[in-house]
Structure 1
Amino acid sequence: MRILVSGSSGFIGRRLITLMRAHGHDVVPLIRGPNGAPTDLAAIGDWNDWPAGIDAVVHLGALNPSRREPASRDSPALHHVNVEGSRALGERAATEGVGRFVFLSTANVHRPKGKTPVRETDELDPQSAYAASKLAAETALREVAAGSSMDLCILRPVPVYGPGGRGMVARLVQLARTGLPLPLAQTSAQRSVLALDNCLDAILAALTHPRAGGETFLVADREPLSLGAMIAAIRQGLGRPPRLLPLPETPLRAVAGLFGRRKAFDRLFGSFVVDIGHIGACLSWHPPLSSQEGFRRAALRDRLAENGRQA
């Protein structure tokens, strides 16, 4: 297949391109800026140099600021980039006769249900301005696909972890690397996460499986983990002992409240579990790596990369 990839220079895109080429696909990164596609993706309908013979598009590009940045609350900017940009790319792809369009959304379009797994058919309640823009982009792309012969497949991944990642899991990796004893041995929350290798494998399945068109899939590792189990797996990959202390959550929550960090505490220590039965049933897709193995590999790669930088 000849595949156009937006967001090709990002955390997922760089590895995806390498993997797709290893599978024999002809990959065309969507490069924006001077001598490339328009910087504003919403203007791609006027681009004169759309590559010939594109069979599929993987749309990874998005505006996704850190929660700490004011831009994370700039709904108009998020809407323009993530909704109007996605719509324009979908319309151009449909016009050019693209057969399959894979869109990477987010599982955060759903509200967590504690330890009860979330399913694709559950109520939609975006957890941030970014998630709201991704949900609106899903709607826009479905409208485009409905008026064309292009198949749309939407993936809703939980947080993706691996070397170069960011967000909650990246902060856990930073904590694990300190080697300090951490009071996480008794944390009860369970969280679904997604190894980068598993994410890439799911994208390949969404691209190539004949039943993926018209479907929406939550994507995660096989099993959720507690925060303590994540730290232990990361430290194992780093060649270190877990060093977890059995401190109950109640005093931790109280301390967080005293410092005005209760919401941050609840985000970190709350459960968010998703059910990946739908993608398994439709595409016969099952994550190649367990979460423990994914964390161990990610930490090992990170350690090897750091050793290479120091050499």
Structure 2
Amino acid sequence: MKVLVTGATGFIGRRIVSRLREAGFDIRIASRLPQRAAGADDVVALPGAEAPEEAFLALMGDVAHVVHCAALNNDRSAGEADFQAANATLTGRLAQAAATRTDGRFIYLSSIRAVVGPDFSGTIDEATPAAPQCAYGRSKREGEIAMLEAFTAAGRTGASALRLPPVYGQGMKGNLRGLMRLAATGLPLPSAALTAVRSLISNDAVAGAVTHLLTRPMPPRPTYILGDASPVAMSEIVAAFRSGYGRPARLVPMPAWPFRLVATLLGRQASWQALVATQICDPTLLASEGWTPEADTFGRLEELARQAG
């Protein structure tokens, strides 16, 4: 059975391909840079968002399922139109072709930014109303809608969006990579600015969720919230990284108000609110359907820094 994986040369996509092969699936890789997948048996170029319909249909020959990882991520500087083309239009085009030519499932890697902004504090589950606050989040939400509409129009089920919190693992980017670099410096850090609690997820756990949804007999639900079993405080993330580097945590007890005042004076209130926001993702739904979330986030982060050091 063959699975088409877009973005298969990326940080999450590579791990998904590995897990699917371990599960016995054949893989077709669709990539904007197919030369990066040199050595793979079945590699094709991923069409652009405005490519003709035939280009997307051609991807689906002999394919049972599609896993759509390719995206323009929010660690890139881009405008609304670029995000919409890469994350919404392209997703809809792929879903339309899959709904027409395949008889399996379509798994789309979305983000909690399709639901909430970075300053939201609270618990996020499948019932949380979608209220994206940035161009990236809006594009991921529009991608979800386009995917589900394509399958509904074809009278099909089996399309599902996985809304991911920040993902960690070898090759990670974004804020977690920045925090890991900060931890590597050994500089003392104010514990009061690191009290926020966050859900994270490992790229291996994402790959496990995708494999689970492609192998379980029941069709997936339209959306799932993913996350490790337990959220962690920002201070715990720093401590885990520093433990992996063989350094003391060096978290200094200081009040938060000086940092809040500085952020206000610099016009960075939004950045401060994002830093102190607590965002907990509830993975209960998919866990109730047999998926096992990562239970040792601290240990995985520690090992990540140990390997990097």
Q: Write the distance in 1 (CA, Å) between the matches of 2:207 and 2:95.
A: 21
Q: Write the distance in 2 (CA, Å) between the matches of 1:186 and 1:82.
A: 33
Q: Write the distance in 2 (CA, Å) between the matches of 1:253 and 1:137.
A: 36
Q: Write the distance in 2 (CA, Å) between the matches of 1:20 and 1:164.
A: 19
Alignment of 1:179-190 (within 5 A): 179-184=186-191, 187-190=194-197
Alignment of 1:27-176 (within 5 A): 27-32=27-32, 36-37=44-45, 39-43=47-51, 45-47=53-55, 49-50=58-59, 52-66=61-75, 69=77, 71=78, 74-111=79-116, 116-148=122-154, 149-176=156-183
| 1:7 aligned partner | 7
- Alignment identity in percent? 33
Q: RMSD across aligned C-alpha pairs, in angstroms?
A: 2.2
Partner SS state of residue 4, structure 1: strand
* 1:82 to 1:44, Cα distance in 2 relative to 1, 3 A: farther
1:33-67 Cα shifts (integer Å, max 9, x gaps): 68943541442622274353211110011122426
Partner SS state of residue 133, structure 1: helix
Residue 300 (structure 1) shift:
2.4
Q: Write the distance in 2 (CA, Å) between the matches of 1:201 and 1:235.
A: 27
| 1:306 aligned partner | none
Partner AA of 1:267 in structure 2: A
Question: Where does the alignment leave 5 or more consecutive residues of structure 1 unmatched?
Answer: 304-311
Residue 192 (structure 1) shift:
1.0
Q: Write the distance in 1 (CA, Å) between the matches of 2:71 and 2:194.
A: 33
Q: Write the distance in 2 (CA, Å) between the matches of 1:6 and 1:90.
A: 12
Contact 1:37/1:44, CA 8 A, preserved across alignment: no
| 1:288 aligned partner | 294
Corresponding pairs, count: 298
Residue 275 (structure 1) shift:
1.3
Comparing 290-299 and 204-213, the one that deviates more: 204-213
Q: Write the distance in 2 (CA, Å) between the matches of 1:51 and 1:126.
A: 31
Partner SS state of residue 263, structure 1: helix
Q: Write the distance in 1 (CA, Å) between the matches of 2:127 and 2:115.
A: 10
Residue 26 (structure 1) shift:
0.8
Q: Write the distance in 1 (CA, Å) between the matches of 2:285 and 2:270.
A: 31
Partner SS state of residue 51, structure 2: helix
Decide which of 215, 220, 235 is 1:228's aligned counterpart.
Answer: 235
Comparing 284-293 and 218-227, the one that deviates more: 284-293
Partner SS state of residue 153, structure 1: strand
Residue 286 (structure 1) shift:
2.4
* 1:252 to 1:89, Cα distance in 2 relative to 1, 3 A: same
Q: Write the distance in 2 (CA, Å) between the matches of 1:226 and 1:65.
A: 22
Residue 175 (structure 1) shift:
0.7
Contact 1:62/1:81, CA 8 A, preserved across alignment: yes
Question: Where does the alignment leave 5 or more consecutive residues of structure 2 unmatched?
Answer: 35-42
| 1:307 aligned partner | none
1:181-204 Cα shifts (integer Å, max 9, x gaps): 111267432111112222221121
1:137-167 Cα shifts (integer Å, max 9, x gaps): 1111111111333511210010111221112
